[in-house]
Structure 1
Amino acid sequence: MRRPGGWWRLKSTPEKVETYTRWSFHFFGVSEIGGIGLATYSQVGPGFATVLSLMVVTHAAACMATTSRALDWTLGRRPPPTRQLWALGVLTALVAVVAIALAEHGPAGEDVDAAALGVFVGVQGFGVGALALGVHDRRRRVMALVAGFAVGAGLVAFAVGLSWSGALVTGGVLLLAGAFLAATAVFSVWLLKAVYALDDAKETRARLAVAEERLRFGRDLHDVMGRNLAVIALKSELAVQLSRRGRPEAVDQMIEAQRIAQASQREVRDVVRGYREADLEVELAGARGVLSAAGIVAEVTGETAGLPAQVQSALGWVVREATTNVLRHGDAEKVTVVVRRTEGRVVLTVENDGAADADGSPAGGSGLAGLRERLSGVDGTLEAGNAGKGVFRVTAEVPLPPATGAGREVAP
């Protein structure tokens, strides 16, 4: 059973930022309801306050729906919400006009005028902030949107009887409030897109690392096979020509070609064996470099000198797989790798923060299952699982041959 809050830890960093951004915009809608709609109950009678509150609630719900669709469009999941944006703009203007009309033709009293004016300015401010999401990629359009609503609010306020100074103040307040909310919306979208771009860059670096390793392997094979195949082809052609002429040297050339082919087979096996057998020191250095490139702090302690080749190979694969799991599954900020030798055994520990809960951990994955098989070949063991809140730990133990098991600590 998943622990409470596990859904949040299962999310990647971009998904967390997206969730935070989305609910922040929804909170703006709740703030509009509480700060403008419900506030009218403390200013006017319940009947008139209910009418104003229903108008504000309707407008806030439309803002929430529009911002949600606009965010999906920003992330490339939906087409542009053009209709929703126009509908929200019309609804914002309509609610504002109705509010000011109620102030003009509704119950008399300064409190009524103040409540209606608050709704008039407030819904336009929040509406501008929501509408800015639909034109966030065009700075001039955002500025025109803010200025247009501010000027329109001032003209409407002056038309219904406010003095020119009062209309100017009304337009100025809406200009400041709309500019603040629009800037907040634009910056939030920019930050969200930047986080997703950084995450894509992280995945690109991982793919480039894999591609570079494949190129290295291909170069090694080319260096081994290219020259030898050219020589074999030349020897074979020479043997054919000598054989057609009935020369006995053809046999010698074929024997030489056979020898080169067998030597090539051995060299290819050596290349593949070197590719398959991981060197612990090389893997530790590679893990430190890959993690640092991904923006993760990597601390590696311990010495590998004097460890048998089969032990280094087995533990090197553990480092490689653990590093891959950190990059793919977790949201780590720090990874600690410790190699120590004690009581005739070598213990490798890889620990990272930012791990998912038990249900989302890679402990049961095929990669770690393969590591257990490799370690069993050298009588080693592997343990993987959560080691505290948000901490995932992989521990591998491999026994040392009696001649090397000195029982001393190599790393603290």
Structure 2
Amino acid sequence: MTTPEHVSPTTSVGVREAWLYTWGGLVLYALVLYGLAVTVTVARTDQPGPWLWGLLLTYTVAFLGLTLFCRSLKAGLWSRTTATSQLAALLIPAVGTSVLSWRDPDWVIAGQIPWFIACSTWAFAAHRKATWPLILLGAFGAAVGVGVGIGLNPGSGQYMLDHVLPVMTATWFMTSLTPLMVWLTVWWWGVILKLESARKTQADLAVARERLRFASDLHDIQGHHLQVIALKAELAQRLLDRDLEASRTQLQDVRSEAQTALQETRALVQGLRQVSLEQELANAAEVLTSARITSTHHVDGSPSSSTVRHTLGLVAREATTNILRHARATTADYQLACGTQGTWTLTISNNGAPPAGHETSPTFGPGTGLEGLRERLHAVGGNLSVEHADNTFTVSAVVPDDMTHQQHSNSAQRQESSAS
């Protein structure tokens, strides 16, 4: 399993945490094995000296090389993305540990562990066909290392069999499970990458559907009016020589049709067309579901004012777009309620929000959707507030009923007149 090319493992906080867990699991498992090997080596050494300190240093360097090499597994199983420096850092210290262990019969069996771990890890970063050959290379190299150690220490074979091997049996059993451990851990990481790729695809499709809907509306406006303009212009040209007054009438219709098309196009682009709050909430549920985001809706009636419905519909549309574009959400909640003073409140919250100040975090700013919504709400006497707590992002829009807002405006005007 390899990583989809268009997925970056750092695209969301959850994926980054999953990778740290994966990498940490591999490193921790290796640390346990290296720790056991070092413990046995030190415990069976009667007189520590420079050779022992050199062996311990190679153990340390071999472990650090393994931690560096494991980063190449971030691309998934059999990704073949390992750099030459990473491979050198993995193999050279492991070979050095094996060679230095030949100095003492008590060190030989433990000294082959770094080599087997290195080959077992490399097997899942190289080509898939090289997996078993590399694992077997690790086992064969360890066996050869033990054989050379026995050969360089005459008469040590029976000693290692009777005294060293029983102590190292459990450690080598755990070491033999390294290929299975690496495969399962990196396979699990690959599944997460596949799920992240699918989630991003679903979110992109939801945004694309919204764009197609906008394109369809634009086509309906422009297609109709341009067709009418073309027909009337052609008719005016035909009537130009026969009936000048009728031709003038057709040209006036062309001008009127063009103005109508311009107004409707501006209204569409600026979002000033009448938006149905109910339809926007339904669309939000549909697109979020397609993006595998669970949404809940708590709607306490519906505003009687078309202006309020229009404004809150724009809020629902913009908030849904922000969820799809900026968050790594799994849940979203929509609440619409009418207050005691005739005000309608639409509250939309979602989890998976990026950290505050992150480049993908929705903020107020010139030209942003939230800034535009705030200006429109202020124009009708409402307000827009945003709360970002932990990984939850909440947008709240409060809009007074048209009649209530008009009464407040008239009362303020009367007070100003009385004061003057």
Q: TM-score of the superposition, structure 1-length normalised?
A: 0.77
Question: Does the CA-based 8 Å contact 1:347-1:395 persist in structure 2?
Answer: yes
Aligned residue for 1:364, secondary structure, equals: coil
**Aligned alpha-carbon RMSD (Å):** 3.7
Going from structure 1 to structure 2, the CA distance change for 1:229 and 1:402 (only over 3 Å counts) comes to closer
Alignment of 1:374-385 (within 5 A): 374-385=376-387
Going from structure 1 to structure 2, the CA distance change for 1:28 and 1:402 (only over 3 Å counts) comes to same
Q: Which residue of 2 aligns with 1:283?
A: 280
105, 109, 117: which one aligns with 2:109: 117
1:397 matched to 2:394: no
343, 346, 349: which one aligns with 1:348: 346
CA deviation string 1:18-54 (max 9, x = no partner):
3333444444454454343355434434446544322
Alignment of 1:229-308 (within 5 A): 229-240=229-240, 243=241, 247=242, 249-267=243-261, 269-270=263-264, 272-273=266-267, 276=271, 277=273, 278-302=275-299, 305-308=302-305
Q: Which residue of 2 aligns with 1:44?
A: 45
- Separation in 2, partners of 1:403, 1:345: 8
Question: Does the CA-based 8 Å contact 1:225-1:264 persist in structure 2?
Answer: yes
Number of equivalences: 375
Q: TM-score of the superposition, structure 2-length normalised?
A: 0.76
Q: Which residue of 1 aligns with 2:141?
A: 152
Going from structure 1 to structure 2, the CA distance change for 1:328 and 1:258 (only over 3 Å counts) comes to same
Question: Does the CA-based 8 Å contact 2:207-2:324 persist in structure 1?
Answer: no
Most deviating of 38-47 and 251-260 = 38-47
Instruction: Give how far 1:63 is off.
Output: 1.2
Question: Does the CA-based 8 Å contact 1:354-1:390 persist in structure 2?
Answer: yes
Question: Does the CA-based 8 Å contact 1:40-1:52 persist in structure 2?
Answer: no
Alignment of 1:352-367 (within 5 A): 352-360=350-358, 362-365=362-365, 366-367=368-369
- Separation in 1, partners of 2:207, 2:77: 26
Instruction: Give how far 1:206 is off.
Output: 4.5
Q: Which residue of 1 aligns with 2:14?
A: 13
Question: Does the CA-based 8 Å contact 2:292-2:330 persist in structure 1?
Answer: yes
Q: Which residue of 2 aligns with 1:336?
A: 333
Percent sequence identity over matched residues? 22
Q: Which residue of 2 aligns with 1:81?
A: 83
Going from structure 1 to structure 2, the CA distance change for 1:329 and 1:31 (only over 3 Å counts) comes to farther
Instruction: Give how far 1:93 is off.
Output: 3.1
1:314 matched to 2:311: yes
Question: Does the CA-based 8 Å contact 1:125-1:177 persist in structure 2?
Answer: no
- Separation in 2, partners of 1:263, 1:222: 11
- Separation in 2, partners of 1:281, 1:25: 51
- Separation in 2, partners of 1:354, 1:337: 16
Instruction: Give how far 1:199 is off.
Output: 4.8
Task: Look up the equivalent residue of 2:233 and give its one-letter code.
Answer: A
Aligned residue for 1:396, secondary structure, equals: strand
Instruction: Give how far 1:215 is off.
Output: 2.5
Question: Does the CA-based 8 Å contact 2:284-2:317 persist in structure 1?
Answer: yes
**Structure 1, unaligned runs of 5 or more:** 1-8, 105-111, 406-412
Q: Which residue of 2 aligns with 1:139?
A: 128
Aligned residue for 1:134, secondary structure, equals: coil
Going from structure 1 to structure 2, the CA distance change for 1:306 and 1:195 (only over 3 Å counts) comes to closer
- Separation in 2, partners of 1:93, 1:186: 25
- Separation in 2, partners of 1:235, 1:159: 101
Going from structure 1 to structure 2, the CA distance change for 1:192 and 1:53 (only over 3 Å counts) comes to farther
